[in-house]
Amino acid sequence: MKSEDYSQGDAFQAEKRAVFSTETLPLCAEGQLARPGDFVSATVGGWSVFAARDKEGSVRVLRNACRHQNMQVVGTPAGNCETFRCRFHGWTYDLQGRFVSAPPPVAPKDLQSPDLHLASLPSVIASGVVFFSLAAPPAPIDVGTLPAFGGTLVTDIACNWKVLVEHLLAEHTPSADFTWAWPLLMVRRAGAVTVMEQVVPHTFLRTRLFTHVFGAKADDTKQAAATIKHVCETLQADRAGGKPAADGTLLVDDFHHRLAEAYAQDRPAT
């Protein structure tokens, strides 16, 4: 990896096309959507999406792009609501993303058109996590039975997403107690507790860490998450300053190898 891959937008655009447009991506823990009307929104690798549970109990992943003028419909990271009302001109959608109404001055001509509904993405719930994909049916991991969901801690980190992935992989090898689901999810087991660390590439220099905790309270991981934030922000400064990421562990090497393959696929054939 080159220094600019961590600090400039070109690599992020390539990753958006060659990684985030094609792979199975985690969006949130199912436990974050416990009640009808619960929703979680995120920008994952440049794609703005949200998951919502409808009144019948089903969960969908929808593109967070209004069918009026393509603006973000959901502007908060999480919450509970009856309908989604776009804050720009008031188009309203139900919990399944179906168009409900619009103020007369901006109402569409054909109120029955299926093109008015928010775009639904292929999604699946597995191992307590909502996965989606922009390209094909998601292929999630299976980590077996989980203890009771204890909550999600959200940490914003001023670093490129690759810095966080490298840091979370660096001290581990694949084992019964550690699973990495390329590209964005790590699962650690310690006795009766399972912790899932979900990397959310918000922008190329802003990354969110969702720490989903099963078998304990999410707040129990606060100190660990604060340490991860401090370390990754320091590492980001190193990368931007030209200090390369250290290779040498199996999983970090594998991560760099997969990224190099993605970049190569993204390059136009000559």
Binding stretches for ligand FES (CB under 6 A): 66, 68-69, 71, 86, 88-91
Q: Other C-beta atoms within 10 Å of 235: how many?
A: 21
**Min separation Cβ 60 and ligand FES, Å:** 19
User: Which one, 34 or 106, has the nearer CB to ligand FES?
Assistant: 106
Phi, psi of 171 (to 5 degrees): -100, 10
Give me the least distance between CB of 94 and ligand FES, in Å please.
15
| Cβ closest to ligand FES, residue 75 vs residue 242 | 75
User: How many other C-beta atoms are found inside a 10 Å radius of the C-beta of residue 28?
Assistant: 27
Is the distance from CB of 255 to CB of 169 less than 8 angstroms? yes
**DSSP E strand boundaries for 98-184:** 99-101, 120-121, 123-126, 129-132, 149-157, 178-181
Q: What is the DSSP letter of 175?
A: B
What does the alpha-carbon distance between residue 208 and residue 231 come to, in Å, rounded to a whole number? 14
65 or 125: CB nearest ligand FES: 65
* Nearest distance from C-beta of residue 49 to ligand FES, angstroms: 16
CB of 119 to ligand FES, least distance (A): 14
Which residues lie across from 203 on neighbouring strands? 206
For the bound state, the minimum distance from the C-beta of residue 206 to ligand FES, rounded and expressed in Å, comes to 24
Q: Which is nearer to ligand FES, 111 or 226 (CB)?
A: 111
Residue number with CB closer to ligand FES (79 or 137): 79
